[in-house]
Chain A
Amino acid sequence: MTVERTQDPSSYVEQQQAATVLAPVYGQSDAPIDPFPTKEPNAFQVVWSNKKARIGIIILAVFVLMAIVGPWIAPYSLTDTHFPPGKGPSLAHWLGTTQSGQDVLTQLLNGARVSIFVGFVSGAIVICVALVVGFVAGYFGGWVDDVLSLLMNVMLVLPGLPLMILIAAYIPHHGIGEIILVMSITGWAFGGRTLRAQMLTLSRQDYVVSAKFAGESSLWIIFREILPNMLSYIIANFFGAVTGAILAEAGLEFLGLGNPSITSWGTMIYWAQNGDALLDGQWAWIIAPGLCIALLAASLTLINFGIDAVANPRLQED
């Protein structure tokens, strides 16, 4: 074959000749081979192509829709208390009525707002704190890392729910803002710890050292060179934090540490428990909000399966 006679592989002319000889074989003329001829799917397409994530997105979309239009499609007014109290499901009241004569379905549709709002806002705050603490600790290392790691470890070993109860008990006024505050204080350590570990790995990569050689500042390196490479990881952490916040919020309100006068899924279970719903056979009153909380948390977990596939292409389904 002609190629084998080519003595010096660095000779450009001979390479060209070799390419011409090989061209009919590979059906290739002068253009180099493009190994990725088709456009790569974007991140959302990857998530959507995952069956579990698709189910999660659909469930989440239903709940978000519920939070937006819930009060308008509710069959009755939230303040309407003149219905016969403590009745099970019927045609007029699909999920029954409460002890104080309110429609449970109306409450359920109104309660979606609080759960989703509190969940996403505390999730966002938690991930921001975790991001800053984890990034600073992981990137700069040294004594900064020692101090922040100690803080994170202390927060991690404190049992979460009792701490939340303690803080909530000391706060004089119990509103949505206070609940968000309590969860932000107690929730950031886990995310901070994992993001620190991820940062520690990525900041030792050669491309980070080369960015320093290119004269980039620390802030640029953290946010433009490293962060895009762990974006899916951060989003997964965010959804994890939202899930935790939704469950914790329901837990606090169930224990009566929230504001029982606002209508959320957590307070619904609190009032159902107070009204002996299970003893009176009003299963819908307690199961409906419980199921909503579980489904919302499950949808976020399912979406995380898809996000994992973005971070690790081997998990992608064909």
Chain B
Amino acid sequence: MSLREQGLQNKQTAPGRYVLELKDVSKVYEGRGHSTVAAYKVNFTVEPGKIVALVGESGSGKSTLARLITGIEKPTEGRITFGEWHVESLKSRQLRNYRKHVQMVFQDPFSALNPQNTVLHSIMRPLRRHLRLSEAEARERAFSIMSTVRLTPVEQFMNKKPHQLSGGQRQRLVIARAIAPEPELIVADEPVSMLDVSIRADVLNLIDEIRRTRNMSVIYITHDMLSARVLADEVIVLYRGHIVERGTSDEVLRNPSHPYTELLLESVPNPFEPKVRTASRAPEVSITRKQALVAPVKGAAGQGCPFAPRCPHVMDRCRTSIPSLTGDSRHQTACFKN
């Protein structure tokens, strides 16, 4: 029986065991004299084998959620559960055990790899530590993982150090190390944003392929709407720590109903219909843009909708109360407009 089949069978014996669930998760960073809300009452679940994309601009709190889910930081409030683990209260020994099941792919493959370690060493360590394999077994397994991520021919890559690899090869090594302990969940924090455009599709395909063959869940963090549409089953749009819209990726990206999602989609350059767009929608777009460029008002969050200061459809009640998510399970929006 191949390793892949073994992995699948293990998971089939315990279906639905590894569901990630966030309940009213908030994270506040206390600074000198002011505090920053990086996540505000965030609720969502990730089912086994699904890819969920967290989308938002810089500072929307998507990386904070990644750090909370992987246990790097603790939430200020709320509960994060994954299987039997209560992530918010893990001690360091439990955290090490938890990370056999939840791994992370970092944004920058240049800093995520120790310059002193060879490719083989980087992949063998998690096998030795998490799966307690012997030296020889780990070596064998590392070779098969290297061929999974296409770091082949294996003999040629095994003794290379990170500075001898290209950006795409490094990111594949980072992915190889993350899948080595056969985790149930991978948190990928902008895994392709530092890579050349030409190899992005390659790395995204690899993530998708691994998800399908190993039945892992993936949280895909990105600011790129198009890659979210290609890769993810579900999309969650974040703005200043609030979930403003969520749903299946087709629904959200075809029929965005929150003004912020619309804004994000509008800012994606579309090479196929530039003239049509500027001709018919020019006035509307420019007004939206002008309003969006106004710097967000400090301290606005908490009193009303976080997006109110930038919203083209802003109403009076938006400034006084926070809209909650409404809609069916396929598509939910937090906006009074609907």
- Tell me the A residues contacting B by CB distance below 8 Å: 8-10, 32, 34-36, 205-207, 209-216, 225, 228-229
Does any Cβ of A come within 8 Å of B113's Cβ? yes
Contact B99 A213 (CB under 8 A): yes
Within 8 A of A (CB), among B186-225: 198-199, 201-202, 205
Taken residue by residue from 154 to 190, chain B's Cβ proximity to chain A (1 for < 8 Å, 0 otherwise) reads as 0010000001100000000010011001000000000
Given A213-B103, A216-B129, check contact A9 B198 (CB 8 Å).
yes
A213–B101 Cα distance when bound, in Å, is 10
Residues of A within 8 A of B130 (CB): 214-215
Q: Which of B104-112, B255-263, B298-306, B328-336 contacts A (4 or more CB under 8 A)?
A: B104-112
A7 CB, nearest partner CB in chain B, Å: 11
Residues of B within 8 A of A216 (CB): 125, 129
Nearest A-chain residue to B107, judged by Cβ: A206
A35–B161 Cα distance when bound, in Å, is 12
A215–B124 Cα distance when bound, in Å, is 11
Does any Cβ of A come within 8 Å of B246's Cβ? no
Residues of B within 8 A of A10 (CB): 201-202, 205
Contact of B114 among A9, A34, A229 (CB under 8 A): A229
A228–B106 Cα distance when bound, in Å, is 22
Contact of B201 among A9, A205, A210 (CB under 8 A): A9
Does any Cβ of A come within 8 Å of B96's Cβ? yes
A101–B173 Cα distance when bound, in Å, is 73
Residues of B within 8 A of A215 (CB): 96, 99-100, 125-126, 129-130, 181
A136 CB, nearest partner CB in chain B, Å: 16
Does any Cβ of A come within 8 Å of B116's Cβ? yes
Does any Cβ of A come within 8 Å of B115's Cβ? yes
Size bracket, chain B contacts: 20 to 34
Residue of A8, A10, A229 with highest tally of chain B CB at under 10 A: A10
Residues of A within 8 A of B104 (CB): 209-210, 213
Contact A207 B205 (CB under 8 A): no
Taken residue by residue from 137 to 167, chain B's Cβ proximity to chain A (1 for < 8 Å, 0 otherwise) reads as 0000000000000000000100000011000
Contact B106 A210 (CB under 8 A): yes
A128 CB, nearest partner CB in chain B, Å: 22
Does any Cβ of A come within 8 Å of B226's Cβ? no
Residues of B within 8 A of A211 (CB): 114, 125
A55 CB, nearest partner CB in chain B, Å: 30
Contact A210 B112 (CB under 8 A): yes
Residues of B within 8 A of A205 (CB): 111
B91 CB, nearest partner CB in chain A, Å: 14
Residues of A within 8 A of B106 (CB): 206, 209-210
Residues of A within 8 A of B126 (CB): 213-215
Nearest B-chain residue to A229, judged by Cβ: B116
Contact B114 A225 (CB under 8 A): yes
Nearest A-chain residue to B111, judged by Cβ: A206
A210–B96 Cα distance when bound, in Å, is 12
Contact B111 A214 (CB under 8 A): no
Contact B99 A228 (CB under 8 A): no
B303 CB, nearest partner CB in chain A, Å: 35
Does any Cβ of A come within 8 Å of B285's Cβ? no
Does any Cβ of A come within 8 Å of B72's Cβ? yes
8 intermolecular pairs with C-beta atoms under 8 Å apart: A206-B111, A207-B113, A207-B115, A213-B126, A214-B130, A214-B181, A215-B96, A215-B181
Contact B72 A209 (CB under 8 A): yes
Nearest B-chain residue to A218, judged by Cβ: B92
Residues of A within 8 A of B114 (CB): 207, 210-211, 225, 229
Residues of B within 8 A of A36 (CB): 163-164
B193 CB, nearest partner CB in chain A, Å: 14
A221 CB, nearest partner CB in chain B, Å: 10
Contact of B112 among A9, A35, A207, A229 (CB under 8 A): A207
B75 CB, nearest partner CB in chain A, Å: 18
A216–B108 Cα distance when bound, in Å, is 21
A42 CB, nearest partner CB in chain B, Å: 14
